[in-house]
Structure 1
Amino acid sequence: MDAYLKRLSLRNPLHLLAVGFGSGLVAKAPGTFGSLAALPLMAWGAWGLSTPVYIVMLVVGFALGVWCCQVASRAMGVHDHGGIVWDEFIGMGIALVAIPLSISSVVCGFVLFRFFDILKPWPIRWLDQHVGGGFGIMIDDVLAGFLAWVIQWGIFHYLIV
């Protein structure tokens, strides 16, 4: 665990949420592990809840994420440390909104979300570089999740009948 992560207390529920219940504490590829950890929760929500309720869950998760990511980044003394992965949870959840759920759609959503989150095409990169605080930590992953959703929605509504 790096020195920044050692500044967090996993007894603090905001810190624990910011690191995705511990999934962001891995040394290599914490964003990918955070996205993987998000899959069961987000797939359950997308499958088990009505679309409006699921969207409300994501909006509440986003608002909570702005707060907990801000608190955790302040405690760490660094903006958007890789171990902060709650933004991956919400981005991954957005990629699954109103998509017919199957193993292939969940894998497709995961791959597309990671693609956009890692590559950070415009305007994701601009947001990542110019928007600060908890909102800045969250918003680039929200947009990556939205782009993944748009492509996935097209795939599953127009290419797969």
Structure 2
Amino acid sequence: MDMARVIATFGGCGLAPRAPGTVGSLAALITGLPLLKRPRLLVAGIAAVTVVGWWATKRSGQGEDHGWIVIDEVAGMWIALLACLPKTEEQAREKWFWMYPLLAFAFFRLFDITKPGPVGVLDKRHDAIGVMGDDVVAGSMAALCVKGVRECMARIAH
């Protein structure tokens, strides 16, 4: 397997026999959780995965969104995790904190599968920008939803 395909499959996660997008998203969640303690590293990782993912998708998939390409799920999932960043040590220890990454995963998968609005528009491009872009937008939408839930939970707690 060449380097572009290794990247596009996120080290082989996209080769899962069932639900490769969900497997890739779950792998992104697991690898992204430690990055919540290093916000700058998470942001740098998102930028790197998005750019390198675009290249790998263009090279190995000829810009088509093959089921085995899951690097786009990594970018989207890590964007969704941005809404989970604790602002203080106290927030990181709050009893509901563990729920936010799970919500990010659920919202991201919902938007990635159903492709509402701009997600669907980008998905129809059938090129590397569309492959990566629909998941970047789905991740952004998921992050907004998680942020909204966090704000509601903060109001309820006070």
TM score, norm. by length of structure 2: 0.85
Give, in whole Å, the separation in 1 of the partners of 2:25 and 2:66: 15
**Runs of 5+ consecutive residues of structure 1 not aligned to the other structure:** 1-8
Q: Distance in 1 between matches of 2:44 and 2:28?
A: 17
Of the candidates 25, 34, 37, which is equivalent to residue 44 of structure 1? 34
Task: Please give the alpha-carbon distance, in whole angstroms, between the structure 2 residues aligned to 1:158 and 1:107.
Answer: 16
Aligned residue number for residue 16 of structure 1: 6
Supply the distance in 1 between the matched residues of 2:41 and 2:83 (Cα, whole angstroms).
11
Runs of at least 4 residues off by over 6 Å: none
Q: Report the alpha carbon displacement of residue 65 of structure 1 after superposing the two structures with TM.
A: 0.7
Corresponding residue of 2:101: 106
Pick the aligned partner of 2:69 from 84, 94, 102. Answer: 84
Query: Is residue 44 of structure 2 the alignment partner of residue 56 of structure 1?
Result: yes
Cα distance in 1 between the residues matched to 2:83 and 2:106: 17
Task: Report the Cα offset of residue 82 of structure 1.
Answer: 0.8
Letter in 1 for 2:10: G
Report how far residue 126 of structure 1 moved: 1.1
Deviations 1:46-104 (A, max 9, x none): x2213x44223211211111001111103xxx711011000000100000104236431
TM-score w.r.t. length of structure 1:
0.83
Aligned equivalents of 2:16 and 2:74: distance in 1?
A: 16
One-letter amino acid of the counterpart of residue 38, structure 1: A
Task: Read off the aligned partner of 1:80 and give its amino acid letter.
Answer: D
One-letter amino acid of the structure 2 residue matched with residue 118 of structure 1: I
RMSD: 1.6
SS in 1 for 2:116: coil
Partner-residue secondary structure (3-state), 2:65 = coil
- The one-letter code sitting in structure 2 at the alignment partner of 1:149 is A
3-state DSSP class of the match of 1:150? helix
Partner of 1:155: 149
**Could you tell me which amino acid in structure 2 is paired with residue 120 of structure 1?**
K
Supply the AA of the counterpart residue of 1:84. Answer: I
* Counterpart in the other structure of 1:134: 128
Q: CA deviation at 1:105?
A: 1.1
Percent of residue pairs bearing the same amino acid type: 34
Quick one: structure 1 residues 98 and 147, their matched pair in 2 at CA, closer, same or farther if it must change by over 3 Å? closer
Q: Aligned pairs, how many?
A: 145
